[in-house]
Structures are given as C-alpha cells and as structure tokens.
Amino acid sequence: MIKVGGIFAAVGIAAMLASLVSPALADPDNNQLIIEGELIVTDVAAPDSSPLDHIYSGWRFRSPETQSLQMDDFENPGFVAVDAAAETWETADGSEGKSCASCHEDVSSLAGLRAELPKWDEATNKPATMENLINRCRTDRMGAEAWGWEQKEMVNMTALISLQSRGMPVNIQTDGPMAEWMEKGKDLYYTRVGQLNMSCSNCHEDNYGNQIRSDHLSQGQINGFPVYRLKWAGLGSIHRRFKGCMENIRATPFKRGSDEFIALEAYVASRGAGLAVETPSVRN
C-alpha cells in the first residue's frame, strides 16, 4: 500500500494541474543521437501491450545544448564517473583480496547485462537490479562491504557496467516469475498518491511533450540511467529519480532498493522495450 502524504479536494487538484502543466511547447524533436559514429536508437514503435503509439528516449525532449553533451564522450560529464569506476574495477578490496577484474577480467564481458535488468534472480526469489548484483559480488566473492545505493562508488560502477551495453535494445523478461512484479510495478505506476494526487502516468503518459513548471516532460523512459542530471551536478540512479518524483508530488517515497521501487523499475523498463541503452545519458 502506497503511503500518502495528504489529499486535496478534486477541484483544487484540477486547478493546480492546470496551473502547472502548459500546452505542448515542444514535441519530441527529430534529432538523431550519434555517439562515436554509432546511431543510438531513440524512438521505436510501441509494443502491442503499450498504451502509447510510439516510445521516445528522454534525450529527444532535451534542449540542443543538453543533447550535444551526450553526443560527445569527451564532453559528457558522466564520463568522469566512468573513468573513476574503471580504476575501482581493477582495485582489490575486501578480505579475499579480489577486484572486479579478478573474476570478470575486462568489463566488456558484461556487455548486454544492462539491457535486461532487472531480471529474475533464483537466489533471492525476486528481480535483481544492477545494484543488487554488484553488492552480491562485493559481499559474497570479495569479502568487502556492500555499497550504499547512492554511494559514489556504486553509481560510478553502474555507469561503467551499463556503458558496455550502450546501443543495445532494452529487452527485459516480463513473463514467468517476472509477471507478478510487472503487475505490481504497473499498479504503482498508475496509482495516484501524495498531496497532489498524481501518478507517474499523469506526467509521463498523459502530458509528455508539455511543460510542467520549467521542465519539459518526457515519457519517463529509463534506458539512460544512471543519468548525469545538470540539476544534480552528478550521476544518479533510477531509484533516486523515482524518489524525487514522489517528493515533487508530496508523497512519502519508498526507500531506494525497496521491493516497490524494484517492481516500478522493472515495469518502467518494459515500457521502453526496443530503445537503446544510452548510459551515461545527460538530462536537465
């Protein structure tokens, strides 16, 4: 059950939404995302199960200045974190004296992983995120302490590993044991919460392409996470963004790494099936 921070009268909610959301000022542009000579897919036909006709990467809703930062790895501010993680990858840590490279050798061996996460994990009987997998390696194989969800080393490492899948289409399992989690995530996506009585779908399905306050609403796709947000002046995880959205509508957010946010991550990832992994992306 989602915790609610309070309710407004229906009339008050309608008035507030009318004041926050303006008519469409900019639909997704037709620019192409090309990085290091590779065309990154930023729009695809929506799958049959989608409520949308077409799906677009958040990159297509950004200003030309922000878009250009992501088109050049040298200019992309997220690569400072990637470079730091590359050093961590080779550094031994924990009681076993192992580094990430001790088992996985080159990080490129993990190409494709980001595109299929979260995925079912038999060991825990629930979906695993990138953060879950990293911490399992640290505690079970390296004898090292687990990293915090938003700890710098964790976010940096998720960016480095995710980069290996850049250009690959998002393709996560939605059936079998994942089906129940997809339904849970879908329920969370469409449930109105908080003082503003809003759901994820109110912004990212009903109003994408519109302005809300000073922000240009996208479809809320997560194929670029972890993302470098200019607002944050650094990288942040998917769950950090979920938490921020819930706080914006004055709802009590779930914890990063909670079952609720993992289910929501899985469902939102499935909504972007076919879009290419963009990590590290750059957003406002």
Distance between CA atoms of residues 58 and 134, nearest Å? 26
State residue 26's pLDDT score: 57
Predicted pLDDT of residue 263: 98
Both 142 and 212 in one domain: the answer is no
Query: What secondary structure does DSSP assign to 89-128, as a single string?
Result: HTS-BTTTTB-HHHHH-SGGGGTTTGGG-SEEETTTTEEE
Q: Indicate the pTM of the whole model.
A: 0.90
In a domain, 3, yes or no: no
Catalytic one among 137, 200, 203, 245?
245
62 pLDDT higher than 70: yes
Choosing from 163, 191, 211, the residue where a domain stops is 163
For all residues of the chain together, what is the average pLDDT? Answer: 91
pLDDT of residue 48: 83
Q: Are residues 39 and 157 both part of a single domain?
A: no
Do 186 and 97 lie in a common domain?
Answer: no
Domain count, the chain: 2
Residue 57 has pLDDT above 90, yes or no: yes
Inside any domain, residue 2:
no
pLDDT tens, position by position, 85-113 = 999 999 999 999 999 999 999 999 999 99
| Confidence bin at 154 (pLDDT 50/70/90) | very high
**Higher per-residue pLDDT: 89 or 13:** 89
Indicate the residue among 129, 163, 197 that finishes a domain: 163
Provide CB contacts within 8 A for 174, sequence distance 6+: 182, 270
157 and 16 in one domain?
no
245 labelled catalytic? yes
CATH number at residue 49: 1.10.760.10
